[in-house]
Structure 1
Amino acid sequence: MPPAAPPGGNSAGGGAALAGASRAGEVFQLLRDGHARTRAELADITGLARSTVAARIDALAASGLIGPAGEAVSSGGRPPSRFAFQPTARVVLAVDVGATHVLTGLTDLSGKVLAELRESIDVSTGPVPVLDAVLEHAAQLLVQAGRHERELVGIGIGLPGPVEHSTGKPASPPIMPGWDGFDVPAYVQRRFRTNVLVDNDVNIMALGERAAYWPDADNLLFIKVATGIGAGIISGGLLQRGADGTAGDIGHVRVPRGGDVLCRCGNFGCLEAMASGPAVAATLAAAGVPAATGEDVLELARRGNLAAIQAMRQAGRDVGDVLAACVNLLNPSVIVIGGGLSSAGEYLMAGVREIVYQRSLPLATSRLRIVQSMAADHAGVLGAGRLVIDHVLAPTGVEHLLAAQREP
């Protein structure tokens, strides 16, 4: 039987009794860091009886989550066995759905990507064709990696629009016609009966970038500049979604030079209408420079086209105008700039830094780092995987997994 429904998405099954494993999840947390420990060491740390610890270690070992990791030095008699976390015991499917692509990855429980598939598909075609592509990729990746469906503990999905995190349903996404209120977890679970967690793509990217490259940064902003513009906010070590899942929607903040430029949201002067890939391309096209997409802008900038370079730097300044207020409000230690348009990083980043350091309070920028994404186009997959991993390896998640293991 699959685990019970998690917060932040739907899950099939549930209700399994946790008797006998009610604290195995807590014992597992002491081994999750990868350091090997003996039963005696775990008993000393937890204060539990050695027989109790031994029973919980046996349950965890039977699940494959932990395994033997050599022997400790003997103080007389047989050397005691040591145990450590085995991240290859289970796998996770991680999905990054963008405006024009789907990237699906298979990871182990450490977040290491084992295999991935990418397909160009427009999210505006609707949820059924996009999710059908995801399901097809998922099945292919399991076969490609030689893993069985029973080893799959969850699927994480990032979508390019607001998501009601408690249900996994998109909530009035502006570039996703037909997706509003669509039950993404339920649709996916028609094929894979497992945990399905869904979140906004920028939130996912923030989780991925932090987990992979900034694990000690408790206050981080991830800014995606692509077809749309948004921010993933990590404050005090926790992802901030807001009351309705729209926290970080900086693309629809008005910028000083926005004037009467109409945004697709219906308002005027939004950051997205001025600095997104399509917006920069439209500005260049109006000036007689052949550009129709953000990729065209990037290619022109790579070739040294001065108009494209200047447009990229101005886009950075516009982003910086909004981020200066964010810096004063949230006081992050790291701002990571990602998304398609960040590929020409030196031009966009120069504009961002110029305005942020000029207009933010000196104290708020005294230790601030503004950097280009190191995860690049893998940030979404890394974050979608991390969303699931943190759920299934939490104490209650481990306990549910052990309970499911005992089901016939």
Structure 2
Amino acid sequence: MSANPASPGQGYENLDLSPDGALITNLLGAVEGEAKSALIPLTSEFGASESHPAFLTPRMKEWYTAYIASWRIAALQPLRQRFDDIDLGKDKRGFLLEAEISKAEQKKNQSIRAEREKFYNNPKIKDVLHKIDVANKEYEAKKALNGGNAANEWSRIIYLIALSLLGMLEFFMNYSGIQKGIPSFPPAAIAAFTILIVILTAVSSDVIGKSILQWSSIFGPGVPSGEKWNHRVRLAVGFILFDLAMFPVVWARYSLLKEEIELDILGEGGVGAGLYMKIAATVGINVGIWLAGMVVAWFAHCPIPEFGKIERLLERLNRKLRKFQETGIDKGNQLHLATRDKERTNLQSRVRIELNNLPDYQTLRTEFERLRAVDGKVIAALQIYRNRLIDALKAQGGKARFEVEDLMLPVENPHRLVDAATYQRQNLELPYA
């Protein structure tokens, strides 16, 4: 920026901030250049001062520093000092309310920064952050394999409820069969035995259903032979578990029909195929429940192995971090905000009681309002620039992304991205200290 419309002899109130003046023309001329940036960092609200206002883009900051800051500070500092020089007696001095409010804000921000540094230097927090970082990398890798989509697996509760409903059906059917086939077993033992059958069937359905869903991912050409072997073992275990679940069911049914089967074998029963259909029906219903469990497992899981597990781990870690933040940062921040608000209220009360009726104070307030009127023009110019910048970014077809400091984030990377709409809603202000 090369324009220099303000000579040393001019004061802040005499700056030409008209829409067609050299200063505003110079500022707006930077829009197209800055709109080419893929990412636009904004000045931090937590380091805002009279020389560095918050939420300015690099070009806005450059313009403010080059053409506004020195004139504004030269006008503000002596005026602020004249407020401070008002003698209120009993060792009390006057003050510029807006300057003291800015100081209270800065003090609050410094305290919040200190809270953040202390929190994120805690070894427990560092450990959680490290685990989140590792899980994030795994998550992004799995997400890429899933076509850029999240795992979207069923919640564990819904999945367990679905399997439990199938298990209840299996329990009531097999309980009566085992009770009739093995009447010598006590009811409690039969119930425990039947629950074990339900569990074995559910685990088998889960293992085999997931394996079928993820077949190409676990047995594909790029999968190492060792991993393939592990998955084959899991699949075999799934079938073995189902066999173990079916054995007592068939045995109980056989015990119930044992005499009829022996007579049929000797040719004396005359029952024929109908006898064996009873056993086949029992087995068939259990197989049907087992297959239904595999269908549930198919719909409940993601085709990418371990993706859902990593997604749930990341959610748990983030919840854990958030819980730490609530107890380690939020409470402290709330205290600092309350202290700032209390100080602001006390300052406003002092103005009403101690200063408002003083002629000198009112004279200085009139001078300050003239300075603040110029501040309004500066802010209006910055807002116009921001609006035109956002319009230019939208015209280019890209999504505008702005980077702001967030004191809830780790010290190593305390920035987050906001969109144009969020930035546009943010107030632009000029501090007075």
**Please, what TM-score do these two structures have when normalized by structure 1?**
0.25
**Please, what TM-score do these two structures have when normalized by structure 2?**
0.24
Greater strand proportion: 1
Greater helix proportion: 2
Which structure has more relative contact order (CA 8 Å, sep 6+)? It is: 2
